[in-house]
Amino acid sequence: MTSFNRSTSRRLKTLTQIPSVWEGDRRPMSSSPTSDSDSEAQGECILWVDGSQGVVRGMDVVSPETGPEAIVRTLMRAMEHPHSPGKPARPQKIVVKDREIQFYLRGVLQDLDIAIDYVPELPLIDELFRGFTEILENQVPDLPPQYAQVLHDKALALWESAPWEFLEEQQILSIEINNWDVGTLYASVMGMLGMEYGILLYRSEDSLKQFRAAVLQDDESQENLEEAFLKQDCLFLTFESEDEMGEDEMDDEDLADLPISEIEPSFGNIHPLEGLRSVLYEEEALTVFVALESLSRFIRDYHNQLDTETFPSLSRRYRISLPKSESESIKPLSVTVSTMPQLAAELEEMAGFDIEELEMGEEDLADFSSLRDDLIPEDSFLSLGVISWEMLESLRQGVQTHQAGEISKVGDGLPVILIQTSRPKAKTVIENILAAGGLKAICFNPGADPFDGDRYDLGLLQTEDDELFLFGEFLDDDPTHIEARKKWNQRCKNTKGYCALIIAKGLTGASRGNPKLRDMMALFEVRSRSPQDLGLGTLQLMPQL
């Protein structure tokens, strides 16, 4: 049995001993079988109460697996740092209703001159626990118990279908339900940017438009954004990481990179007069179930048509059977899901998506002649490096997209350009390269800014349709880049001009800057081309008017 250090015993004995009897006990917070298995209600509560003064001196909630030492830790806090209005002291006597606790405390506290007695009842603690139990059992669950599991399953099924990979937030789907005082819901899919994932189900088209307009107008004011957020009228489903202990690390993690076992769906409601609540009542739960089921079927049926550059006009009716309920049996509902290309165009116009903006750097540099910069996302991570021949073989087998080349395995490995971005953006880059017929070459070409005299080494990708895309601008006198280019040139010489482009996901995750094999989505094995091969000369920066 663990005992106090002598110094601890001496410290506790300096506390004033008061003529009080303290009650102590440890018991489950709730015995209700309907309690949430992940909630605090499944823990055990340790209480120390001064029976003479009728006040709680110490309280703690621990897991059932925690050993008996926790009772002593809480008792020490009750003596040295009691809850208000108690003052530091040690009791003359302690009573418990558990023989094991009694014998354990007698052994641990034997040097503190405290009597430890057994009693069959602890009236103060019994009364407190009755109150705790009533509070816990009267709490409204986040979801009606009869629908909780089916909603959870529907949400994870939707997560696996990943509609945000091909639907943008402004590409709204209408879901006509006509039940529970709900006419049509307007579904907005979040997630293409790799930040927040979920579905917003607006109860009116006006609420959706008003929120969009408010966000665009007040994008610099956090206070106004919060007000606009709370003025929405919608039901929602969002996805979060199940592991909330690593919350700081999760700020940089893309949920799409996590296994489904670590994804946890959350449901709720937003209304201008209610604000936000993470609870769905029965009719709301049924409404969300119907919306998710019909939305999942629509995405399954029209995945290929939706995964295009244009937002097509589509509509389909479904008969949705409702989950069984003990209270009543409801007949299947007829639900119509439709795309809303006209509304999507209106929202895009509000956001200014129809205005093409070409920016080549922080200083609003203009386009180089015969050069495009709309292939590689601006915030991508870029590096010039090398992969070993063993890694090359693994990568050839592991990536979804592979453009092969006949490479001589000479030297320490294959020179590569690595571009890492979010998964949706990586997917778009790959699709655009394939749409151009594939990748033809990786090039470096000199560039110059005649206004400030800077000279650049421009990284270029040439597609099979002979378009040139900028992937990087490097100052010509940057020592780090100079060294990287020397190694690049030597390795390309070893491989007789062969190199590769790797497109990877995970920019916002833990593998940022060092993607693992599972993060790599495409490998394009191509030839390198010299400035002489391109014949472009030095590309001059022209002013943007």
Task: Say whether 478 sits in a helix, a strand or coil.
Answer: coil
Q: What is the pLDDT of residue 253?
A: 58
Give the contacts of 125 (CB within 8 A, at least 6 positions apart): 23, 24, 25, 47, 49
Identify the pLDDT of residue 205: 93
Helix, strand and coil percent figures for the chain, each rounded to 5: 35, 30, 40
* Residue-averaged pLDDT of the chain: 84
Residue 250 has pLDDT above 50, yes or no: no
Average pLDDT over residues 46-53: 90
Contact 18, 89 (CB under 8 A): yes
* pLDDT, tens only, 308-320: 878 999 999 999 9
Higher model confidence: residue 503 or residue 245? 503
How do beta strands 468-475 and 115-118 pair? unpaired
pLDDT for the residue 328:
58
3 state SS of 283: helix
Over residues 161-169, the mean pLDDT reads: 90
Using only the alpha carbons of the chain, give its radius of gyration.
32
Q: What is the pLDDT of residue 193?
A: 67
Kind plus residue range of the DSSP H or E element containing 401? strand 401-403
Instruction: Determine the Cα–Cα distance for residues 230 and 44; give it in Å rounded to an integer.
Output: 37
Nearest Cα residue to 539 out of 293, 320, 370, 350: 370
**In 3D, which of 27, 90, 86, 36 has the Cα closest to residue 62?**
27
Q: Is the pLDDT of residue 222 over 80?
A: no
Q: What is the reported pLDDT for 20?
A: 92
pLDDT tops 50 at residue 368: no
pLDDT tops 90 at residue 348 = no
User: Cα(169)–Cα(167) distance, rounded to whole angstroms?
Assistant: 7
Peptide bond preceding 85 in cis form (omega within 30 of 0): yes
Q: Is the pLDDT of residue 239 over 80?
A: yes
pLDDT exceeds cutoff 60 at 466 = yes
With contact defined as beta carbons under 8 Å apart, do 31 and 11 qualify? Answer: no
- Would you place residue 254 in the very low, low, confident or very high pLDDT band (cuts 50, 70, 90)? low
Helix (H) or strand (E) holding 70: helix 69-80
- DSSP-assigned letters across all residues of 521-534: EEEEEEEEE-HHHH
Percentage with pLDDT > 90 across the chain: 46
Distance of CA 6 to the CA centre of its chain: 49
Kindly tell me if the per-residue pLDDT of 84 is higher than 80: yes
- β-bridge partners, 186: 174, 202
Q: pLDDT band for position 221 (50/70/90)?
A: low
For 397-454, the pLDDT digits (tens) are 888 888 887 887 888 899 999 999 988 889 999 999 999 999 999 999 888 877 677 8
Say if residues 27 and 45 touch (Cβ distance below 8 Å).
yes
| Measured distance CA(158)–CA(267) in Å, rounded | 14
